[in-house]
Structure 1
Amino acid sequence: MDTTVFVPIDATATTAGVAAVRARSLAKTYGKGAAQVRALDAVDVDFEAGRFTAIMGPSGSGKSTLMHLLAGLDSATSGQAFIGTTELTGLGDKELTLLRRDRVGFVFQQFNLLPMFTAEQNITLPVELAGGTVDRAWFGTLARTLGIEDRLTHRPSEMSGGQQQRVAIARALIAKPDVVFADEPTGNLDSRAGAQVLSFLRRSVRELGRTIIMVTHDPAAAAYADRVVLLADGRIAGEITDPTPEAVLAGLDALRSLDDTIDGPEVNG
């Protein structure tokens, strides 16, 4: 039975435990006067722990801005962003740096691996830079799950794009962060390598208990997620549960047709 649902989000609905990531009336404005652009408009949304959530929307909808604010990579104009019970919007630069180091993982479209280091050295670098000790059992689990056990001594130039992205995922997960943010993680990969990377992201959620929030423009990529959050004009427009590529395309089409009629306060809950 098709259980796909496209509905407005009620961010006030109670859930078991504390959400991994939350936004409350989160807004971001760029520029001043006539040149002012409201990239994010009073967003309320929760992201559950132990789930894979995709964020989608038309170009300029605010999806990357939302991710950057939730990850502490940019500052909000108003509102609040939380990771667990920690309010990012109340932290100073040093505290934000420590939070990103200790509690957040990142996977980007560009793999951002250090070319002079092996795969293993790239993976363990965040822990070593933080002065910690690598959990070798967890390292082994990641290498096996991501299928890179035979690439650990290779440098990035000796690996395919898909292999490099899997190393980047392992690097994002090595410190067991509260949440991993993935920004167009398959944008530089062919369809086969992209499908493999998305499968590994989904496995890291289902088998390793991780929490992943991914920004993507690709309906096929979004279909790997447990849930898709849709944005339009800087506002939350709805969500798709148990997404399929067809359901995501239909949701995006609905956004275009409803663009002029969406009532922001009702949609945002």
Structure 2
Amino acid sequence: MPNSGENSSTRTVDAVGRTIDIFEALHELEGGTVTELADHLGYSKSSVHAYLTSLEEREFVTKEGYFYRPSYRFITIAERLRRSHYDIYRFGREAAKRLAEETGEFVQIMVEEYEMGIHIFTASGKKGVYADKYPVGRPCPLHCNAAGKAILATLPERKLQRIVFQNNLPAITENTITDPDELLRELEAIQETGVAFSTEEAVIGMRGIASPVVGPSGEPLGSVNISGPVSQFDKERFRETLPEKVVECSNFIEVEVMNERGYDD
């Protein structure tokens, strides 16, 4: 009989895994038919159809003719997640909007999850240029952009060492820092100045300026980032004007979080 319990547990885990696979396929394909999803995943059409029917009954999937897509319920779930679990989002949205309006540029809020960077909010000024390589919700390496490097500079030493020396620091562009020692030297500078920079390290033609946001106990909350075309970021704006604005924004968020949580002696 023990085997029966183990088999039941295995089937449950397999069902969860297949459900996640279907959600990811719906996202990657931007929706699809049963046949398209089955071909993409290598699952039988009957199996995919059964899962989609169950998900539709629970209103996680919407069917339009023969076409399936994730339901708008995910928007509600995502918004509740951001509001309830991310202080940097709760107290940073309006600050990021003001920063975008004041500078005219594209502003992002990033957090770290599973040792990757996730943009959870964006705002654009009148001159803002959006590079959609890593949109809201899509994981991106932390070492290849200013927002990610700002976060790396605040992580606990053990976690930082694991990311830097075990993740292999892939080259996203020819300008990405892939040498661990070089990256660590840059992170030391970020810790001293509170500002991170990147030039064409994630997207060719784009620059970024970011500042970390930490909680009352020094825990990393994320970062605020301004990004835009190299042509819009001349030396003075890139090294002086915009960094001051980004640091002001991150400091404002930190104070708001501190006022909400209380001071940590």
TM-score, normalisation: structure 2: 0.27
TM-score, L = length of structure 1: 0.27
Q: Which has the higher helix share?
A: 2
Higher strand share: 1
Larger Rg: 2
